[in-house]
A and B are shown apart, each in its own frame.
Chain A
């Protein structure tokens, strides 16, 4: 750091997704201390739930792995998982923050040997897979989970069975009696990077998600494609396990819609193009249809659009479908609407329909910033001008590269703020 500035100020980064990770690692590699707080049991956020990234069709774990290595190798980064920031007081250079550490019921003695999960008989709908498939009540979220320690569902911790696991753990890592603790920390600046949640597709009533079994969403589909997902990567539909060979993607499911999210979520077009490749790779005879308003493959992503467009197995229909019906016999979803380039109405049946649902900032709902003077826009994104810095999809809908770019930038702003005195 430059000589005339105080070193050693800590930066609090809230959210351990790609944005928070990037902010933490980039700031720490300049030489600053970082406290990274994540609400979930493991880091990685939304990107860890993805099967591949566009446009390179590569695994997010590859980049995450490097970031985790950078954290492991950097003593300046302290990571708290299952922790939430409850209160922020102060100004740049001198914040006091209160953090609630939820119980994990498994200490960091855990070696991820898996003996406890083997013995556990209780399963929950797997939240990592958006409820598709079941998961043990004591587990790691997924095989690449970092930190590589198990956690226990709090509802399970009170059970008699959970007690039996205590003795079973060869390293004595399990403690169902763990309780929440509250930490108070002094930090110099705060970066809010709590990311996004997929828009609740049930709210998009005409599309029947929740009513029609074979209407899914883009994030659920990511898990379906993933080898560690509920189907082991096989693209099959929920109602009867049929292979998904006629599939439709519906863009702007919730986004660009005054009834839902008025803004554009930016990534969904590209995400559907990417997911179309999943289907076409798994089933070379599959037919994919994409219903869209505008295809938004900005800048060099245009090349990806061209690449996907070159596939004759993918049809593009400029249309926001009006509704989805369900064929009562086959369970096929039937997409109904008007092709705006031909004026022709359609009612097309598919094996499965994937709604390209948009991004809703967590800062609008479950991760409001517990500080005074925070600037939000009307959608709940944390914008510039307030007390706390924000980055990634907490500020605007972004793709991964955009989130990394913004988070690298915010790392510098956080350094500046941390070294600013009152």
Chain B
């Protein structure tokens, strides 16, 4: 690789030239930092400025660029060059726009000092930065494994194949189609949203079986999943025959289990009579052709469909299964289509027919379906067959009795992925051995299961990035991911197919997937320095690092999301990226010129998460908010990458205080790497030891949660901290 030659380009536009002594900055670059090419330009992002940089790259051999202008978040199109070695020094948004430009001599001095420090930090950063060498492997596979052969799985396999990739479909039973195969028809998915549609399973099975790019394994389970995206080795036990297949990514479409009706409250009557059935049993009856009283085979004329059976209930499933209202309306229609004179009662708590399904709700009422808001209170066998059901009728406001032939309980969906309902450790009909509880049996140091977000469902960012799980390259879809109906499952499976294809295309290029999509760097470590403390393997939010027998980390670069949590965790400072390292950040902060205590210019180091805190700081600038001139901001990939050694380094370098700005953690975390900011907080709780050792007050270091929209509050947060630091004695280490 050719030698690094840095060019430093200082923009004097947007008021920078007027507010700062640019010549002095040039000197910092060329003389102090020994940057071989240092230039200024009045409008660097304009055509002429860009041309200037390109010329130097072409003629001067400049191959690493330090662009001292505005925030790294703006003018990104313009400042795009054919080199991975580029850093932006933000003189405008985070210096000029947040400090007094037209102030007195002291203010001017502070402004200049800040600009110079940022230039120094940028120079060091670029010096420490190396071009990432994308991870490659000869054995990459782009095939997609689909686990679960229900509607979602069949759809996923079909869509993967339709895009030109090979799919392997693994189904634990002998037949494809899953739950939906047991159903009669499906609710309307298309305009005018009034007509029941044919069950899609037959069509999907035919499509999958007729597709040469899809291999189907029936009666098959996954005994083990090893490896990483692009390099998964999956051991499939297919009816006793065990094979290992290499695949690039995995889609989990194992569907749902129904909540065990035996666990329902007694008052719902399950078990009182054969005429109390679950909605799935009712589906099967409709599919078989005749809706009858189970107890005696007499035609069912009056049926009560009770919604939310064991759902939205803290003693059972706390959540709503999303699809049951529409399912139950469909069931009412089955009955009314069989016999227009029949009585179909839909007993609801909240009728949830979102979107165009409202029209289906109307249709069922039009056909004579009767809606009742209330709860089942008691179920008894009636003397002449059928049931007497007592209900609380919230609209008639009283207790009412209904004589019905069948009571159909809409029981809820439980994720089938590893974790089971907390209230219901063994799912319906499954008394499984330990291994069977895990769908994939991941050979991951952090365990065999898929980490769950809530209530057993395995995604990680269900608003903005709903497909992301904490196991890179493994995407859940359909009700395995969250409760959903059939049409939505098919859409969901298609989306998961996209993600599965996207991850193989990315990792085979050596690129990261969300949230640092396209990042070509990945962590490496210096084996000889490792003390086998296992912090990196335990803390990685994505379980990317395995261990060997001795406890040494085994990195899986294609599982890695490049957050740097491992780097932050490592007490030995031996984990680094080509363009991001403990040494790099440590060197940056040491480059800040700390004035002597007598100057009464404290220095506060701010570590800011690049995802939320940095944009928020930019907005402070846009709003021309005022920040203490004593802060020096270093962006971090994620708070998870914060290494405690930097705290010690900063303190021993004479910083008076350190403010860490990470994302919200806890249940409603906003950390894009799920646990980064939480881990940083935990690490920081131990920092007082460090400070004690240095005989410093522990409140010199503070971590705050920053939301991207906190621009209005940030000045107060920062300035209050600065004031608090100013009230302490100067850091005694300044003098050393």
Contact = CB atoms under 8 A, between A and B. Distances in A.
B354 interface: yes
Interface in B482-510: 482-484, 488, 491-499, 501-502, 505-506
B454 A300 contact: yes
B106 interface: no
A264 B354 contact: yes
A398 B354 CA distance: 9
A29 B517 contact: yes
Contacts of A112: 74, 622
B676 to A, nearest CB: 14
Contacts of A113: 14-15
A303 interface: yes
B352 A143 contact: no
A306 B318 contact: yes
Contact of B709 (A59, A73, A294, A404): A59
Chain B interface helix/strand/loop/mixed:
loop
A336 B492 CA distance: 42
A263 B672 contact: no
Interface string B344-376: 000010111111111100000000000000000
Contact of A299 (B190, B321, B672): B321
Contacts of A379: 356
Given A171-B46, A263-B355, A416-B163, A302 B465 contact: no
Contacts of A161: none
Interface in A355-384: 375-379, 381, 383-384
B438 to A, nearest CB: 22
A171 B42 CA distance: 9
A280 to B, nearest CB: 16
A70 to B, nearest CB: 5
Contacts of A299: 319-322, 482-484
Contacts of A343: 397
Interface string A97-125: 00000000000110111100000000000
Interface in B298-334: 312, 314, 318-322
Interface stretch (A129-137, A320-328, A407-415): A407-415
Contact of A56 (B353, B668, B709): B668
Contact of B711 (A111, A227, A340): A227
B319 A30 contact: no
B164 A302 contact: no
Contacts of B164: 1-5, 419
Interface string A154-171: 000000000000000011
Interface stretch (A61-69, A174-182, A205-213): A61-69
A74, A114, A232: which has the most chain B beta carbons within 10 Å?
A114
B43 interface: yes
B318 A74 contact: no
A312 interface: no
A9 B198 CA distance: 35
Contacts of B77: 72, 108
B142 A385 contact: no
Given A56-B670, A227-B711, A396-B356, A143 B506 contact: no
B733 to A, nearest CB: 37
Contact of B708 (A62, A301, A376): A62
A195 B142 CA distance: 34
Interface in A251-267: 256, 262-266
Given A30-B505, A171-B43, A303-B319, A70 B462 contact: no
A233 interface: yes
A387 to B, nearest CB: 16
- The contact size tier of chain A is 35 or more
Interface in B1-20: 13-15
B464 interface: yes
Contacts of A407: 495
Contacts of B527: none
A222 interface: no
Contacts of B45: 109, 111
User: Interface of chain A, helix or strand or loop or mixed?
Assistant: loop
**How big is chain B's contact interface, by range?**
35 or more
Contacts of A4: 164
Contacts of B318: 302-303, 306
B670 A404 contact: no
A149 to B, nearest CB: 9
Contact of B498 (A62, A75, A401, A409): A409
B75 interface: yes
B81 interface: no
B353 A264 contact: yes
Contact of B518 (A73, A377, A410): A73
Contacts of A2: 142, 163-165
B491 A406 contact: yes
A188 B348 CA distance: 47
Contacts of B709: 51, 59, 61, 226-228
B502 A29 contact: yes
A296 B354 contact: yes
Contacts of A398: 355
Contacts of B206: none
Contact of B466 (A51, A171, A306, A405): A405
A77 B719 CA distance: 40
Interface stretch (B269-277, B286-294, B611-619): B611-619
B191 interface: yes
Interface string B225-268: 00000000000000000000000000000000000000000000
Most buried by A among B193, B321, B354: B354
Contacts of B502: 26, 29-30
A58 interface: yes
B463 A409 contact: no
Interface string B434-476: 0000000000000000000011010000111111000000000
With a 10 A CB-CB cut-off, give which of A53, A342, A375, A377 has the most chain B CB atoms. A377
A8 interface: no
Most chain B CB atoms below 10 A, which of A111, A299, A411: A299
A109 B357 CA distance: 49
Contacts of B615: 61, 65, 144
A53 B672 contact: no
A375 B513 CA distance: 35
A347 interface: no
A119 to B, nearest CB: 15
A220 to B, nearest CB: 18
A263 B708 contact: no
A44 interface: no
Interface in A272-311: 294-303, 306
A56 B483 contact: no
Contact of A65 (B159, B356, B612): B612
Contacts of A306: 314, 318
Given A299-B482, A411-B498, A412-B494, A263 B358 contact: yes
Given A227-B712, A298-B322, A405 B501 contact: no
A183 B668 CA distance: 44
B103 interface: no
A144 B670 contact: no
Interface string A34-67: 0000000000000000010101111101110111
Interface string A320-349: 000000000000000000001111000000
B356 A263 contact: yes
A67 B611 CA distance: 11
A408 B464 contact: no
Q: Which of A27, A61, A265, A405 has the most CB of B within 10 A?
A: A405
Contacts of A341: 394-395, 397
A236 interface: no
B322 A62 contact: no
The 4 closest A-B pairs by CB, nearest first: A2-B164, A63-B464, A408-B495, A377-B191
Given A300-B462, A377-B193, A398-B355, 16 more contacts: A31-B505, A62-B663, A65-B611, A143-B622, A256-B358, A263-B355, A266-B355, A296-B350, A301-B320, A302-B319, A377-B191, A397-B355, A404-B464, A412-B495, A413-B494, A419-B164
